[in-house]
């Protein structure tokens, strides 16, 4: 008896998805082991499965659509954690900054391409194309460095939104301006000003519809779905909202799908379902975001470098030198700290998806020559590869400039009342006021110890200060923030926040007060030794604490005596290397509570 199995004839989608993700996994793993950003591996994976290298060739059209899906989900995720008040708070820097940087890049692009015998109009459009940073790269770099939800990260995201809005306007206006030469006899081309007004009204209608109407409708829909108790239906509802509003923004309002997804994320983020939406409904986000980088790598043609390298080199210079320099100057003009200005400038020093969309339209309208695409691809690949590496060097470079005295340390981000440190009350600085920070602060205060809290959430700081408690708003890695909190007179420093660069905080605190006792929190046991090497007195690893708590529960459940439980806890400490053992079986350093 024979068994017939139906197989589809066209497997391009499956082959593209499998081949692209497999290559990205392999090369991303290798680059991670080489201490490089996995983004480099993803771009190399794109080159490997692209049409210009031998072997398997993925379908570029399918890969591009996967990449667009990744952009939509990524921007929806960013919108979940980005509130309207955060966007409005940075408008005074982001709006003029983005406009100034776009103007600088446009002028540089026009002047440079004129040297290659391009027309002024071609150069201006080319400059506009390279003025826009990649959404995926910017958000990924900020997230990887835990800066996405910092003041600098908010400015960068606001800056990016202004660039996206500008690009949308250009995409609408280009055909209106340059298609006039092809208008048939007897037809009247649309007025340029009418086109601008209609475009602005459409964008305004999209924002109004999403933030006003959506704010009333979307939470009710999610609440109704959540009451069913079905996780699958909730996941589907969030994905439908993200994709539906993204597609609707493009079809009905002429905006980008990324902008629509971002606005949808902002609405969901202000509801009670933001945490569940982020954890349950976006498991595919990272996978499809990876395919964005693969799709960019697929465009790279090594053969084009031989002839077009002068234009490519000039374009790269504008993107990684001209653009960030303009951004740096603008942010400094608005009296932002140098570290913040440099971070914003560096993270914007790349180009991506909108650059290709704008260039493709310009080439189809015969505004720009075809070689513009090769210059953009090479610049995109190199700038995306360098961007994570350059961003990681911002903080060390800034600290080096501060030590040399060439740059002043940043001041606290908000006006603070002077913290009065009472040395008789054995002051302790606590970094972070989450569940751990609240607990240790209460215990210390109950025992007559003065607590000074450093927190990055301004609402929390204002609430604490309204209660008459000492709280400082700012980044604890900055010496000025630690100084303002009175670290020089403090007896102890407790790093209670999770996901912070604890080693940088320890080093900064030790420089200001070599005698301070530092208690540091970390998620993983493997990070404990490096923190001790930086100067932490005690390190508490979450992995070890969970193991000890479970050990205690299991032993008591089985009826063990306190003496047996104590011996078993000591054994667990030794196994986990939480506590180096000395001759009497007791730890020489306390590395776990209890």
Contact 27, 10 (CB under 8 A): no
Please tell me the distance from the alpha carbon of residue 425 to that of residue 452, in angstroms, as a whole number. Answer: 11
| 389 and 455 co-located in one domain | no
| 225 and 110 co-located in one domain | yes
Kindly list the distances between the CA atom of residue 17 and the CA atoms of 193, 281, 447, in Å, as whole numbers in the listed order: 44, 20, 60
Contact 128, 106 (CB under 8 A): yes
| 326 and 209 co-located in one domain | yes
Q: Which residues, other chains included, contact 34 with Cβ-Cβ below 8 Å and sequence gap of 6+?
A: none
Q: What is the pLDDT of residues 546-559, one digit of tens each?
A: 787 888 888 888 88
| 385 and 448 co-located in one domain | no
Contact 234, 280 (CB under 8 A): yes
Q: What CATH number corresponds to the domain at position 481?
A: 3.40.50.720
| 32 and 171 co-located in one domain | yes
Q: What is the pLDDT of residues 102-159, one digit of tens each?
A: 999 999 999 999 999 899 999 999 999 999 888 778 888 887 887 776 778 888 888 9
Q: Which residues, other chains included, contact 372 with Cβ-Cβ below 8 Å and sequence gap of 6+?
A: 122, 126, 129, 359, 362, 363
| 340 and 437 co-located in one domain | no
Q: Specify if 149 maps to a domain.
A: yes
Please tell me the distance from the alpha carbon of residue 70 to that of residue 281, in angstroms, as a whole number. Answer: 13
Please tell me the distance from the alpha carbon of residue 380 to that of residue 298, in angstroms, as a whole number. Answer: 12
514 CB neighbour count, 10 Å cutoff = 8
Contact 351, 132 (CB under 8 A): yes
Q: Specify if 510 maps to a domain.
A: yes
| 217 and 289 co-located in one domain | yes
Please tell me the distance from the alpha carbon of residue 423 to that of residue 210, in angstroms, as a whole number. Answer: 53
| 70 and 163 co-located in one domain | yes
**CA triplet 212, 216, 221: central angle to 5 degrees?**
135
Q: Specify if 7 maps to a domain.
A: no
Strands 428-431 and 451-455: parallel
Number of domains composing the chain:
2
| 337 and 452 co-located in one domain | no
Tokens matching residue 192:
């340029």
465 CB neighbour count, 10 Å cutoff = 16
55: left (phi over 0), alpha (psi -120 to 50) or beta: left
Residue 370: domain span: 12-179+189-402
Contact 451, 469 (CB under 8 A): yes
**CA triplet 9, 15, 18: central angle to 5 degrees?**
145
Please tell me the distance from the alpha carbon of residue 352 to that of residue 92, in angstroms, as a whole number. Answer: 25
Contact 303, 52 (CB under 8 A): yes
| 363 and 433 co-located in one domain | no
Q: Specify if 243 maps to a domain.
A: yes
Rg (CA), the chain: 27
| 394 and 432 co-located in one domain | no
| 73 and 205 co-located in one domain | yes
Q: State phi, psi for 472 to the nearest 5 degrees.
A: -125, 130
Q: Specify if 113 maps to a domain.
A: yes
Q: Specify if 413 maps to a domain.
A: no
User: Which residue bears the tokens 């301004």?
Assistant: 458
Kindly list the distances between the CA atom of residue 399 and the CA atoms of 11, 444, 583, in Å, as whole numbers in the listed order: 53, 32, 43
Please tell me the distance from the alpha carbon of residue 429 to that of residue 505, in angstroms, as a whole number. Answer: 12
pLDDT computed for residue 413 by the predictor: 45
Q: Specify if 267 maps to a domain.
A: yes
Residue among 154, 133, 131, 25 at smallest CA distance from 83:
154
Please tell me the distance from the alpha carbon of residue 507 to that of residue 489, in angstroms, as a whole number. Answer: 16
Q: What CATH number corresponds to the domain at position 386?
A: 1.20.1530.20
Q: Specify if 539 maps to a domain.
A: yes
Tokens matching residue 445:
């205060």
Strands 538-541 and 517-522: parallel
Contact 539, 518 (CB under 8 A): no
Q: Is the dihedral of CA 116, 117, 120, 125 positive or negative?
A: negative
- The per-residue pLDDT string of the chain (594 residues; one tens digit each, 9 = 90 and over) reads 445 555 556 788 888 889 999 999 999 899 888 877 787 888 889 889 988 888 888 888 888 888 888 778 877 877 776 666 666 777 888 889 999 999 999 999 999 999 998 999 999 999 999 998 887 788 888 878 877 767 788 888 889 888 877 877 787 677 767 754 444 445 555 566 777 777 778 778 887 887 777 778 888 888 888 888 787 888 888 888 888 888 888 888 777 787 788 888 888 877 777 767 776 656 677 777 788 888 888 888 888 888 888 999 999 999 999 999 999 999 999 888 888 899 999 999 998 777 887 887 788 788 888 788 888 888 888 898 899 889 989 988 988 888 888 887 665 444 445 566 666 667 899 999 988 889 899 988 888 889 999 988 777 888 888 888 888 887 788 777 888 888 988 999 999 887 788 888 898 899 889 889 999 888 777 777 788 888 888 888 877 777 878 888 888 888 888 888 888 877 877 766 544 433 333 333 434 433
The β-bridge partners of 431 are: 454, 495
């Amino acid at each position: 008896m024979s068994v017939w199995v139906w197989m589809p004839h066209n497997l391009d989608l499956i082959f593209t998805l499998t081949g692209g993700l497999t290559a990205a996994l392999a090369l991303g793993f290798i680059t991670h082991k080489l201490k490089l950003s996995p983004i480099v591996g993803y771009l190399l994976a794109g080159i490997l499965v692209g049409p210009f290298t031998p072997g398997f060739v993925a379908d570029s059209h399918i890969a591009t659509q996967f990449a667009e899906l990744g952009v939509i989900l990524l921007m929806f995720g960013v919108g979940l954690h980005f509130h309207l008040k955060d966007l409005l708070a940075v408008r005074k820097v982001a709006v003029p900054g983005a406009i100034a940087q776009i103007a600088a890049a446009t002028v540089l692009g026009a002047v440079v391409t004129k040297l290659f015998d391009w027309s002024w109009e071609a150069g201006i459009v080319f400059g506009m194309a390279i003025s826009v940073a990649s959404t995926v790269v910017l958000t990924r770099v900020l997230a990887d460095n835990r800066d996405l939800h910092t003041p600098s990260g908010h400015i960068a995201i606001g800056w990016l939104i202004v660039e996206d809005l500008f690009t949308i306007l250009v995409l609408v206006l280009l055909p209106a301006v340059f298609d006039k030469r092809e208008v048939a006899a007897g037809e009247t081309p649309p007025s340029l000003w009418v086109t601008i007004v209609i475009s602005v009204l459409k964008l305004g209608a999209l924002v109004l519809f999403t933030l006003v109407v959506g704010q009333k409708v979307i939470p009710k829909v999610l609440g109704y779905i959540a009451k069913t108790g079905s996780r699958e239906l909730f996941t589907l509802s969030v994905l439908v909202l993200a994709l539906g509003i993204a597609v609707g923004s493009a079809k009905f309002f002429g905006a980008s799908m990324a902008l629509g997804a971002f606005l949808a994320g902002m609405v969901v983020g202000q509801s009670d379902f933001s945490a569940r939406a982020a954890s349950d409904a976006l498991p595919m986000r990272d996978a499809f975001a990876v395919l964005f980088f693969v799709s960019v790598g697929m465009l790279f043609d090594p053969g084009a470098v031989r002839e077009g390298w002068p234009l490519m080199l000039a374009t790269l210079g504008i993107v990684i030198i001209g653009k960030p320099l303009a951004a740096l100057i603008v942010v400094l003009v608005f009296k932002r700290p140098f570290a913040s200005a440099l971070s914003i400038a560096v993270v914007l020093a790349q180009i991506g998806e909108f650059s290709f969309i704008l260039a493709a339209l310009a080439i189809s309208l015969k505004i720009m020559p075809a070689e513009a695409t090769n210059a953009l691809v090479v610049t995109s690949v190199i700038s995306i590869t360098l961007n994570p590496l350059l961003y990681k060097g911002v903080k060390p470079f800034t600290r080096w400039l501060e030590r040399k005295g060439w740059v002043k340390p940043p001041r606290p981000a908000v006006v603070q009342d002077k913290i009065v440190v009472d040395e008789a009350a054995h002051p302790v600085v606590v970094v972070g006021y989450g569940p751990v920070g609240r607990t240790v602060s209460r215990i210390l205060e109950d025992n007559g110890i003065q607590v000074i809290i450093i927190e990055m959430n301004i609402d929390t700081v204002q609430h604490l200060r309204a209660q008459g408690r000492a709280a400082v708003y700012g980044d604890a890695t900055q010496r000025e923030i630690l100084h303002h909190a009175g670290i020089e007179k403090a007896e102890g420093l407790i790093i209670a926040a999770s996901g912070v660069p604890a080693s940088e905080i320890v080093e900064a605190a030790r420089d200001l007060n070599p005698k301070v006792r530092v208690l540091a929190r970390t998620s993983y046991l493997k990070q404990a030794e490096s923190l001790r090497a930086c100067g932490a007195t005690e390190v508490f690893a979450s992995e070890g604490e969970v193991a000890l708590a479970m050990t205690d529960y299991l032993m008591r459940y089985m009826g063990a005596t306190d003496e047996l439980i104590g011996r078993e806890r000591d054994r667990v400490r030794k196994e986990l290397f939480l506590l180096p053992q000395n001759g009497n079986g007791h730890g020489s350093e306390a590395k776990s509570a209890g």
